[in-house]
Structure 1
Amino acid sequence: MAGIPPLCDFGWKAIDSRLTGIDGETHSILAQAGRRGLVVAFICNHCPYVKAVIKRIVRDARDLKDFGIGFVAVNANDAAAYPADSFENMQRFARGHDFPFHYLHDADQTVARAYGAVCTPDFFGFNSAGELQYRGRLDASRKEEGDTDLRRDLFEAMKQIANSGQGPREQVASIGCSIKWREPA
């Protein structure tokens, strides 16, 4: 089922947490920030929306480093119900796409809940003060890989944030598979 997150709550402060990365080490989310900002992306391995744009996510994460923007990805899906999103499959997925960023496992889903993540992919762009300035789409791709000349919404927004500390006032919401929440006990 597709999910569409709300648009940006400008100024909302990034929340730190320590999660296990695919390297087996524990990583702080906020420690991934660059000197000018941070993108926190909620993704997973099996979602067709993520699969359609994963090469672009990797490209944009690499390109944003040049602007002082850090990048981290978090998988919060219930791996018991969706084995394709298991920790081992996260490792395979990241290796297969040569992730230049940490891919963290939110096994208890507390980080996704704290951020109000709705779907995969769901992008949160913060300025150097840790204030939310972008909550929108990567580009106009959906479940199919889009044209190579699509406007790079996330990349352009984060460039603006790197230069001014402020995100664009007009943003288009991301769309993707809903987060696969665990059933309450």
Structure 2
Amino acid sequence: MADTLSNMMPLGTQAPDFTLIDTVSNKTLSLNELKGDQATVIFFICNHCPFVIHVNKQLVTLASDYKAKGVNCIAISSNDVENYPQDAPDKMKITAKKEGYIFPYLYDETQAVAHAYNAACTPDFYVFDANHSLKYRGQLDDSRPGNAIPVTGQDIRHALDCIISKTDNLKPQKPSIGCGIKWIKA
């Protein structure tokens, strides 16, 4: 399986709107319902990717640490479930409960949302400010499966701290790396 880099959507891009099914609550939820008062972190993940499995605990910790600061996190899976049944909505619900996700885990059945965000890999991260303007995209941190670097979420944490403190994020933004999204073949 080849490692895939994120596409790095241009900073300042407005968050593409969406309405998707939350696999845990079975409710249809929109970006406007889920956005944070200060910032919104959207991450494209899936159940089986070793890169996602590697960061799952940090995703929950990050969401928990920033919830009270007005930051909401949203997870989306866009994988082709016909060819990758381990990523089907019923399995997403099991994963969300097992991992203790405190954020919605949405299913992008048509892959339209992944295309709108130009998502390429799992995990792929996007941080938007209160006005839905993209302020960060790329990696969670430098940790990867097998590289012995601790998973801290430092890149996204720094981006969120900059948004909250209304300061510019001057650090270089590195692409995320992971498994390529499993696209539906036409």
Interval containing the TM-score (normalised by the shorter chain): over 0.9
Scaled by the length of structure 1, what TM-score is found?
0.93
- Give the SS at the match of 1:53: helix
The answer to whether the 8 Å contact 1:52/1:145 transfers is no
Structure 2: give runs of 5+ residues left out of the alignment: none
Residue 10 of structure 2 is matched in structure 1 by 9
Residue 141 of structure 2 is matched in structure 1 by 139
* Percent of pairs with identical residues: 36
Structure 1: give runs of 5+ residues left out of the alignment: none
- Give the SS at the match of 1:38: strand
The answer to whether the 8 Å contact 1:8/1:134 transfers is no
Q: CA deviation at 1:140?
A: 1.1
- Give the SS at the match of 2:57: helix
Counterpart check, 1:85 vs 2:87: yes
Residue 102 of structure 2 is matched in structure 1 by 100
Residue 33 of structure 1 is matched in structure 2 by 35
Partners in 1 of 2:40 and 2:139 — Cα distance?
15
Instruction: Provide the aligned length of Structure 1 versus Structure 2.
Output: 184
Superposition pairs of residues 1-185 of structure 1, within 5 angstroms: 1-22=2-23, 23-144=25-146, 146-148=148-150, 150=152, 152-164=154-166, 166-184=168-186
Scaled by the length of structure 2, what TM-score is found?
0.93
AA paired with 1:69?
Answer: V
Q: CA deviation at 1:150?
A: 4.5
Partners in 1 of 2:16 and 2:33 — Cα distance?
11
Partners in 2 of 1:104 and 1:88 — Cα distance?
11
Partners in 1 of 2:51 and 2:71 — Cα distance?
23
Q: CA deviation at 1:8?
A: 4.8
Q: Deviations over 1:49-95 (max 9, x none)?
A: 00001000111111111321111000000011001101111001000
The answer to whether the 8 Å contact 1:18/1:26 transfers is yes
- Give the SS at the match of 2:8: coil
Aligned structure 1 segments of 4 or more residues deviating by more than 4 angstroms: none
